[in-house]
């Protein structure tokens, strides 16, 4: 509550904090390990007892921070390291090269993920990526807060069209990963896309009962979060040189992604009764912040793995499909769906 921010990102409350954690350690992954302010412990408190408490609460860092170090903390742990995110922002993408002699080595697919808005301050978010030489390049990100469905549909189609305007991406197939937890929003987007005669697209069929869309559960959220973390840790992700955002501008989109990625956490809930299970949730909706664009990026990264590795979509990667894709014109509408 104390860290709550308003719509402009400004703190709602003015606060002062007296802690035993220095600023540098507070920004790290393990602030509970800080010993730089041990000299500030009041004279009536034994520093040796502080160390005993630190040992006793080693398995519960949140409690240690709350009870002994003056830090407001819950049972959450940041999912992504600051240095990994900064390396992602600094990374220089590999320039795309077009090969006429072997189209299989060209970029053939662009992956676009959509996290629909759940209302309130939540944003309708889109993130698009491509994979080139085994590494991910983030093409674009959108965040639109609106109550008008037509605005979200227009942004969706405009976003896909803008990707096709990037050099060497005009011929690509759009692979769509649309979160399907929110009613029929994913189906509405697909119908709108078909009615708009947008060519060369295919939707992942990972929703309930194998329907088009992507159903997120706690298990899939964990896989999504881990897929992005692996890409960050292995320096396998960067921004494309023509990164754009039609809704909020490229600079603001990068800032929003950075804030949401760094805020994304693993929230651990202890068992409520003896013998109960520890529960883990993956979310960035803490301290009044949203996580929509981060979720869209996670979805897009996860979609690249599913599409290239699942037998369900192998038909789109075959030589026959590649030949059809490069040498024959497409009718408006979805690319033939894999069985």
pLDDT per position as a tens digit, 227-248: 999 999 999 999 999 999 999 9
CA 159, 161, 167, 172 dihedral sign is positive
Domain edge (last residue) among 25, 40, 73: 73
Q: Which residues contact 74 (CB under 8 A, 6 or more apart)?
A: 62, 267, 286
* Residue 108 CB coordination number (10 Å): 21
Position 117 in a domain: yes
User: Cα(283)–Cα(260) distance, rounded to whole angstroms?
Assistant: 10
Number of structural domains (the chain) is 2
Q: Over the stretch 245-260, which tens digit does the pLDDT of each residue have?
A: 999 999 999 999 999 9
Q: Which residue range(s) make up the domain with 25? A: 1-73
Is residue 333 pLDDT above 60, yes or no? no
Answer yes or no: do 44 and 182 share one domain.
Answer: no
Q: Over the stretch 37-83, which tens digit does the pLDDT of each residue have?
A: 777 766 666 667 777 777 776 656 666 666 566 655 555 678 899 99
Q: pLDDT-derived band of residue 4, with 50, 70 and 90 as boundaries?
A: low
User: Cα(338)–Cα(12) distance, rounded to whole angstroms?
Assistant: 51
Answer yes or no: do 217 and 180 share one domain.
Answer: yes
Answer yes or no: do 313 and 247 share one domain.
Answer: yes
User: Cα(319)–Cα(334) distance, rounded to whole angstroms?
Assistant: 19
Answer yes or no: do 33 and 175 share one domain.
Answer: no
- pLDDT for 255: 94
- pLDDT for 215: 87
Is residue 147 pLDDT above 90, yes or no? no
User: Cα(217)–Cα(180) distance, rounded to whole angstroms?
Assistant: 11
Instruction: Give the pTM.
Output: 0.75
Any idea what DSSP says for residue 195? H
Is residue 339 pLDDT above 90, yes or no? no
Position 222 in a domain: yes
Task: Tell me the CATH number at 141.
Answer: 3.30.420.320
Q: Over the stretch 192-234, which tens digit does the pLDDT of each residue have?
A: 999 999 999 999 988 877 788 888 888 889 999 999 999 999 9
Distance of CA 193 to the CA centre of its chain: 23
Position 283 in a domain: yes
The chain-wide mean pLDDT, for the chain, equals: 81
Is residue 336 pLDDT above 50, yes or no? no
Answer yes or no: do 189 and 300 share one domain.
Answer: yes
- pLDDT for 142: 97
Domain edge (last residue) among 38, 73, 108: 73
Domain edge (last residue) among 24, 56, 73: 73
Position 339 in a domain: no
User: Cα(339)–Cα(336) distance, rounded to whole angstroms?
Assistant: 9
């Amino acid at each position: 509550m104390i860290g709550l921010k308003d719509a402009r990102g400004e703190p709602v409350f003015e606060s002062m904090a007296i802690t035993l954690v220095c600023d540098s350690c507070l920004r790290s992954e393990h602030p509970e390990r800080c010993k730089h302010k041990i000299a500030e412990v009041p004279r009536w408190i034994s520093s040796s007892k502080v160390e005993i408490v630190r040992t006793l609460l080693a398995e519960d860092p949140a409690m240690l921070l709350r009870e002994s170090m003056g830090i407001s903390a819950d049972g959450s742990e940041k999912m992504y390291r600051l240095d990994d995110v900064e390396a992602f922002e600094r990374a220089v993408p590999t320039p795309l090269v077009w090969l006429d002699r072997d189209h299989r080595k060209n970029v053939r697919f662009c992956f676009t993920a959509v996290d629909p808005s759940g209302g309130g301050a939540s944003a309708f978010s889109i993130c698009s990526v491509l994979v080139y030489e085994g590494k991910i390049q983030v093409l674009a990100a959108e965040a639109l807060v609106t109550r008008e469905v037509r605005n979200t549909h227009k942004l969706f189609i405009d976003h896909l069209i803008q990707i096709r305007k990037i050099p060497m991406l005009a011929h690509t197939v759009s692979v769509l990963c649309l979160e399907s937890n929110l009613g029929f929003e994913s189906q509405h987007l697909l119908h709108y896309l078909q009615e708009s005669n947008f060519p060369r697209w295919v939707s992942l069929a990972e929703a309930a009962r194998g329907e088009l869309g992507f159903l997120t559960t706690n298990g899939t959220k964990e896989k999504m979060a881990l897929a992005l973390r692996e890409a960050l840790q292995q320096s396998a992700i960067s921004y494309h040189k023509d990164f754009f955002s039609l809704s909020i501008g490229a600079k603001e989109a990068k800032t929003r992604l950075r804030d949401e990625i760094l805020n994304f956490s693993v929230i651990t809930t202890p068992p409520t009764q003896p013998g109960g299970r520890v529960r883990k949730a993956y979310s960035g909706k803490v301290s009044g912040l949203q996580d929509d664009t981060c979720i869209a990026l996670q979805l897009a990264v996860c979609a690249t793995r599913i599409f290239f590795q699942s037998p369900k979509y192998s038909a789109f990667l075959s030589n026959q499909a590649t030949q059809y894709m490069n040498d024959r014109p497409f009718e408006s509408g979805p690319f033939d769906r894999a069985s």
